[in-house]
Structure 1
Amino acid sequence: MQSGLKLPAQVCTSSVETVPHRKTRNKQYDTMQGPILPVLGSVPILPHTFSILFRLSGPRTWVFPSFSFILGYAVGGGGQLSQIAIGIAVASLVTAATNIVNAYADRKEDATNQPQRLFWLGQIGSRQITASLIVLYSSAVALAIYLGPLFTLVLGFGILNSIFYSLPPLRFKAKPLASLASFSGALGLPFLGGLGVRGSLDLLNPMLWLLTWFMFTYGTIKNLPDYFGDMKAGIRTSATIFKNVKKAVLFSSTLLSTPFILLVAFVSLGLLGPIYIADLALIPLFAFIITEMLKAKDTTGLEKAHTFGFFYAISFLLFTFLLTSPTIQSLVMVLVAYLWTLTVAKLSVHSRVESRDWEKQRKRP
């Protein structure tokens, strides 16, 4: 490793691992080496590397920070499309880097949870991954300068949160409460950055706290599909602190309902406008998600429920944005966000795999 970015010990040592991939589950791969041949099949290495990095960057998750920034920018009174575009770019770059760092740091867990992601990492190699992270973070900082010092300051905290969510010595995700607090920054910090563009960092803004708490509770859902792999790897999460997955699901379901209570409280106290009561229209969708979670009997079922939960979460954010800025322009932006998310899902270019066929293979005699 020649970069200054310090990676965990377990990812800095080359080792040969058996990857239970559907087509290559009996082959061994040196997970720290890139492809040996100049091409993989008929695909050149460079496009192949970019396609893998795109998957690992979690493109569907870019919607969260992007629209949280736009919402904060709108609440602050902003309206310049150029600033919105730059803010979206910065949010997406940092989120992409965060997801790559997270995937790289979680190789131990992914041997069970997402072995296909482990295979992708092995095809790139540590140097290319580190170089990609440097490019992503540097590009975000360069663009942030155009949005002013307050935005850049918030971005600095965001980058630190992005790195140390997964990497030592802090590795927030290794501690259940710290993990959720760090994860909530995916909405809280971009919103604050949006306010910062307009020259204000209002830490008492009720919308800031509503979004931050919403993301805090949503963080419990994403841990559910990885329950068994995390338990096997000895990883403590908001799910594995419970002795069985059913209790973890009940805890997550209960916690996920509390943003509605907070929303009603803010509106009742006059901290948010009455129009935001319309967010309660999402309760039927919320109830459906909870039902799916409770019905899930295996990891694949929990992953499917998590996918539904993801669409519920972005719907809460996008609908709240529309209530804040009910314009044709806002509606078009929301439709584009849904189109992007559905396209990513349809093309299966996200790093999480919903259909975990390797688990079926593992159960065969």
Structure 2
Amino acid sequence: MMKKIRLWIAATRPWSFLMTLASTMLGLILAAQAESCELHYIIPVICGLIPVHAASNILNDLFDVKYGFDTAESLRFRQHPIVSGALKERQLKKGILILYGVGVIIAAYLTSVRGLLIILFAGMGVILSLFYNVKPFRFKERPLGELVVFIIWGPLIVLGTYYTLTGCIASDAILASLPVGLLVSAVLLANNIRDIENDLKKGAKTLAIILGYTAASIFYALLLSLAYLLLILLIIFKILSPTSLLALLTIPKGINSIKLLRNKSPEEVDVKTAELTLSFTLLVIIGEFLKLLL
């Protein structure tokens, strides 16, 4: 029984939930600065987002195996219960439906208490999740993948959380989400740079493949640079507080990742970029929390 539970946990890729939690917490700290904020709604927000993220992760792996992108070689990077055959396709499909179902039920509850716009946020999240993974759209294999994750972990989750807690749409929340969205895009780009050779064999046309290794590496550096530039501009225009400059402490991590790509060592850059993104977002959250205290 415990072995089965561990397999299901591994299939959901729980470490990736930190990215969703980070964007959610950014929306929370921004909402806490608003005139009116119902903080207790953060619990159903998290309880709705995590199952949908888990469903999307399983869906991603399921179709990666089905379309031949994930093979036994994928086990070099992480435990893969689907490739190993420990979990069957029929089981996975049931799990995906249950997890999406939980998200839909919680979205329905939030819609009843916070307004119809919740349907828009939740619907966009589910649709983008499906379109990212499943043909004929399968944005994951196209140069639109980075744009999709930018939208989801940037404006969609941050603004969606902000709206649920405040009942308002605020341009400041959208703008504050942009650096995080750019960094999450850089995580996917780093992953696709690493997988250029394998993805090319499978007929994918990711942004990394279209640009080529060198140009994609330069674009990666531009994404990181733009995230830091936007942070500074957001502070100059008083959308974020000066204490959010704490996020600049992550610059050495970014420089190190850029150097790894330049030296043709992309193997761990996606992981390092994910760590950078989490550190950056956490420091912005801490900076904005300090604003509340000062």
User: Same fold, TM exceeding 0.5?
Assistant: yes
CA RMSD between the two structures? 2.6
**Alpha-carbon distance in 2 for matches of 1:110, 1:328:** 46
Does the 8 A contact of 1:64 with 1:187 survive in 2? no
Tell me, yes or no, if structure 1 residue 315 matches structure 2 residue 279: yes
Number of the residue aligned with 1:254: 222
Match among 48, 60, 63 for residue 18 of structure 2: 63
Number of the residue aligned with 1:211: 180
Number of the residue aligned with 1:337: none
Number of the residue aligned with 2:231: 263
Number of the residue aligned with 2:247: 279
Cα pair distance change 1:122/1:112, threshold 3 Å: closer
Match among 174, 177, 180 for residue 146 of structure 2: 180
Number of the residue aligned with 1:223: 192
Task: Name the aligned partner's letter for residue 278 of structure 2.
Answer: I
Please state how far the C-alpha of 1:113 moved relative to its aligned partner: 5.4
Could you list the per-position Cα deviations for residues 214-260 of structure 1 after superposition, in whole angstroms to 9, with x for gaps in the alignment? 333333122122222112212111211134x3443233223322111
Could you list the per-position Cα deviations for residues 289-319 of structure 1 after superposition, in whole angstroms to 9, with x for gaps in the alignment? 222333344xxxx232222221111111111
Percent sequence identity over matched residues?
23
Does the 8 A contact of 2:241 with 2:288 survive in 1? no
Please state how far the C-alpha of 1:182 moved relative to its aligned partner: 0.8
1:323-342 matches, cutoff 5 A: 323-326=287-290
More helix by share: 2
**Alpha-carbon distance in 2 for matches of 1:171, 1:61:** 20
Does the 8 A contact of 2:243 with 2:290 survive in 1? no
* Number of matched pairs: 277
Cα pair distance change 1:241/1:276, threshold 3 Å: same
Give structure 2 stretches of 5+ with no counterpart. none
Does the 8 A contact of 2:232 with 2:245 survive in 1? yes
Tell me, yes or no, if structure 1 residue 84 matches structure 2 residue 53: no
Number of the residue aligned with 1:7: none
**Alpha-carbon distance in 1 for matches of 2:106, 2:261:** 40
**Alpha-carbon distance in 1 for matches of 2:72, 2:201:** 8
Task: Name the aligned partner's letter for residue 247 of structure 2.
Answer: D
SS of the equivalent of 1:137 reads helix
Could you list the per-position Cα deviations for residues 86-139 of structure 1 after superposition, in whole angstroms to 9, with x for gaps in the alignment? 222222111111111111111211127515637546332221111101110111
Tell me, yes or no, if structure 1 residue 110 matches structure 2 residue 70: yes
Number of the residue aligned with 1:11: none
Task: Name the aligned partner's letter for residue 288 of structure 2.
Answer: T
CA radius of gyration, larger in? 1
Could you list the per-position Cα deviations for residues 20-59 of structure 1 after superposition, in whole angstroms to 9, with x for gaps in the alignment? xxxxxxxxxxxxxxxxxxxxxxxx5xx4443223212111
Does the 8 A contact of 1:66 with 1:87 survive in 2? no
Does the 8 A contact of 1:151 with 1:194 survive in 2? no
SS of the equivalent of 2:188 reads helix
**Alpha-carbon distance in 2 for matches of 1:249, 1:63:** 25
**Alpha-carbon distance in 2 for matches of 1:295, 1:127:** 43
Task: Name the aligned partner's letter for residue 54 of structure 2.
Answer: A
**Alpha-carbon distance in 2 for matches of 1:172, 1:212:** 17
**Alpha-carbon distance in 1 for matches of 2:193, 2:38:** 39
Tell me, yes or no, if structure 1 residue 54 matches structure 2 residue 22: no
Please state how far the C-alpha of 1:196 moved relative to its aligned partner: 1.7
Does the 8 A contact of 1:65 with 1:187 survive in 2? no
